Chain A
């Protein structure tokens, strides 16, 4: 099994456009959208949902106003400022630690299981897809990402497919770490801007930290050719294989507006760049599990 994760550090460099373009390249694969708090891949792949699963993770405190004597112990001990002055739990700040339940002398604070979102098993024109939606203001995005990856892996095994392509999220924190763990290859989509180059370097430090094989794909190259040279130099110095270079072109946006991948929208132009890149990615990806 090969699991390939597309990340970027900085947001908006084109992860989802690249993933949707690669979705139709090569033999069938399973697709996974791990950007669970701002998922967009479904807008292009238009999945037909086969089944929907509630995602329960962790706990949420509840204070029963009929039992609460407003003694203030819960508020005093809560490290997350998750209890209001009138002793209502502020769900978006509650981390589910259980301190309030422990300190409450009346048994008014209780911990309840927490539904943080949903995940879906779907079919698309390019094969099976696992995606998810984190509830608004909910916790545990990292665990939802791990669930999406595990389900994508299981779906691949069930269908006898040996590649999973993962759309990651921006940043270097918990959802990104969850989408990278044990991946066979990380592809960093970067653009030639001062911001994106620094973000690429930070996320590369992260893939190095977790010892994940890494490649760089330069997107929107025409924005600043001088910086493209700098990026290539960085890759060379750090022995990161360069996957390719994509133009800054309005056709990407036009394709998105039509709900198509760039390969579908412009098969004879930019679309031609993707199948060879997919082959290179496969060649660099490590097998992650049976």
Chain B
């Protein structure tokens, strides 16, 4: 079973919910694989004291032109076909801008002279390990690389789903999130009870509804703002999975990379209830 943990707004507690739920499930005897889909700013591994077992560079294919085969100025079919302006005719050859390439393969299809082959652009590093009894898979986007989705896809392809897989998603509602949600059986949206939290939750709800994922909402740091999120959930008939209270102790424990379910019995109870509710919602949906 694959459960994605997402939100519109950043910093609402996606990683907190992911790692604490992972630890709770581990204690219940489940085999958990945690996949950190935030390859731009990955953080889950800090909370699991992950020991790395391996890492490898990941690449996407980009075109390479064989100038001896290229038909030259009279052709230019590849540069005209490319929708991403990743190839242009410069003086006397085709110049490729690898960082603009989406690896769609159209240039190779249109080339009448078989002059285009694949070379690669490094997008980042895939890494995996284990910590606190939890298998971990994640990625690290290369600094300056704009496109996160190809690396997210690779990390997800590599990660096994033995029993339960948790997908810790990046913030926002665009391509990296869509890639991260792909294949999830259920989505937990984490928000905070503030106007910013509500606004971004609405966007996230719009996305998961459009993509047809069953979902519910966790209100994190309950009590810090107002009741706008709860009213919204009622009005929209969206299941509230849990309200996890806001405490200074929790914020401090988080800051040190500690797990709430291991530090505070009260939080452990909260997460037990959270999991019961998620299980019920998944059962209801079947």
Residues of A whose CB lies within 8 Å of any CB of B are 8-13, 16, 37-40, 43, 58-59, 77, 79-80, 92-93, 95-99, 102-103, 111, 134, 136-139, 141-142, 169-177, 191-195, 198-199, 202-203, 205-206, 209-210, 223-224, 227, 248, 250, 253, 256-257, 259
Task: Tell whether, in the assembled complex, residue B196 and residue A256 are in contact, meaning their CB atoms are under 8 Å apart.
Answer: yes
- Which A residues are in CB contact (< 8 Å) with B104? 79-80, 95, 97-99
The reply to whether A103 and B172 contact each other, CB–CB distance below 8 Å, is: no
Task: Please tell me if the beta carbons of B171 and A253 are within 8 angstroms of each other in the complex.
Answer: no
Contact present for A43 and B199 (CB under 8 Å)? yes
Q: How far is the CB of B78 from chain A (nearest CB, A)?
A: 12
| Smallest CB separation, B207 vs chain A (Å) | 5
Between B10, B46, B206, the greatest number of chain A beta carbons within 10 A of the residue's beta carbon is seen for B10
Q: Which of B62-70, B126-134, B137-145 contacts A (4 or more CB under 8 A)?
A: B137-145
0 or 1 for each of B151-180: is its CB under 8 Å from A? (1 = yes)? 000000000000000000011111110100
Tell yes or no: B216 within 8 A of A by CB.
no
Given contacts A10-B11, A209-B143, contact A99 B255 (CB under 8 A): no
30 A–B pairs (Cβ distance < 8 Å), ordered by A: A12-B10, A13-B10, A38-B8, A38-B9, A38-B172, A38-B173, A39-B199, A77-B105, A79-B104, A92-B178, A92-B211, A93-B178, A97-B102, A98-B83, A102-B109, A134-B173, A136-B210, A137-B173, A137-B174, A137-B210, A169-B172, A170-B41, A171-B171, A172-B141, A173-B148, A203-B41, A209-B143, A223-B255, A248-B251, A257-B226
**Max chain B CB contacts within 10 Å: which of A13, A16, A193, A256?**
A193
Contact of A193 among B102, B178, B255 (CB under 8 A): B255
Chain B contacts with A in 172-222, Cβ cutoff 8 A: 172-176, 178, 192, 194-196, 199-200, 203, 206-207, 210-211
Contact A206 B43 (CB under 8 A): no
Nearest residue, chain B, Cβ from A39: B199
Cβ-defined contact, B105 with A9, below 8 A: no
Chain A residues in 8 Å Cβ range of B12: 11-12
Q: Take A195-B46, A202-B41 as given contacts and tell me if A96 and B146 are in contact as well, using a CB distance cutoff of 8 Å.
A: no
Q: How far is the CA of A103 from the CA of B9 in the complex (A)?
A: 40
Q: Is the CB of A11 within 8 A of B199?
A: no
Given contacts A174-B147, A223-B252, A227-B255, whether A40 and B196 have CB atoms under 8 Å apart is yes
Which residues of B approach A to under 8 Å, CB–CB?
Answer: 8-12, 15, 38, 40-41, 43, 46, 81, 83-84, 102-106, 109-110, 141, 143-148, 170-176, 178, 192, 194-196, 199-200, 203, 206-207, 210-211, 224-226, 251-252, 254-257
With A173-B147, A193-B254, A227-B255 already in contact, the answer to whether A43 and B196 are too (CB < 8 A) is yes
Q: Tell me if B147 and A40 are in contact (CB < 8 A).
A: no
A236 CA to B196 CA, complexed, in Å: 33
Cα of A95 to Cα of B82 in the assembled complex, Å: 12
Is the beta-carbon distance between B147 and A97 smaller than 8 angstroms? no
Interface of B is mostly: loop
A255 nearest CB across to chain B (Å): 10
Q: Chain A residues near B192 (CB, 8 Å)?
A: 12
The total number of A-B Cβ pairs within 8 Å is: 182
In the bound complex, how far is the Cα of B102 from the Cα of A191, in angstroms? 35
Nearest CB of A to B199, in Å? 6
Chain A residues contacting B109 (CB-CB under 8 Å) are: 77, 99, 102-103
In the complex, which residues of chain B have a beta carbon less than 8 angstroms from the beta carbon of A103? 109
Beyond A43-B196, A43-B199, A96-B83, whether A198 also contacts B46 by CB under 8 A is: yes
**Alpha-carbon distance A133/B211, docked complex (angstroms):** 19
Q: A206 contacts B143, CB within 8 Å? A: yes
Residue of B41, B144, B178, B192 with highest tally of chain A CB at under 10 A: B41
Q: A195-B46, A223-B252 are in contact. Are A40 and B105 (CB under 8 A)?
A: no
Cα–Cα, bound, A2→B196 (Å): 28
Neighbouring B residues of A43 by C-beta, 8 Å: 195-196, 199
B174 engages A37 (CB within 8 Å): yes
Partner of B41, one of A16, A191, A194, A199: A199
Asked if A250 and B224 make an inter-chain contact with CB atoms under 8 angstroms apart, the answer reads yes
Closest to A178 in B: B146
The residues of A that contact B251 with a CB separation of less than 8 Å are: 223, 248
Closest CB pairs A-B (n = 9): A11-B10, A12-B11, A97-B104, A174-B146, A171-B40, A195-B43, A193-B255, A224-B255, A170-B10
CB neighbours of A256 from chain B (8 A): 194-196, 225
Question: Given A12-B12, A253-B194, is A137 in contact with B178 using a C-beta cutoff of 8 Å?
Answer: yes
Contact check, A173 vs B176: say whether CB atoms are below 8 A apart.
yes
Closest-by-CB residue of B relative to A81 is B182
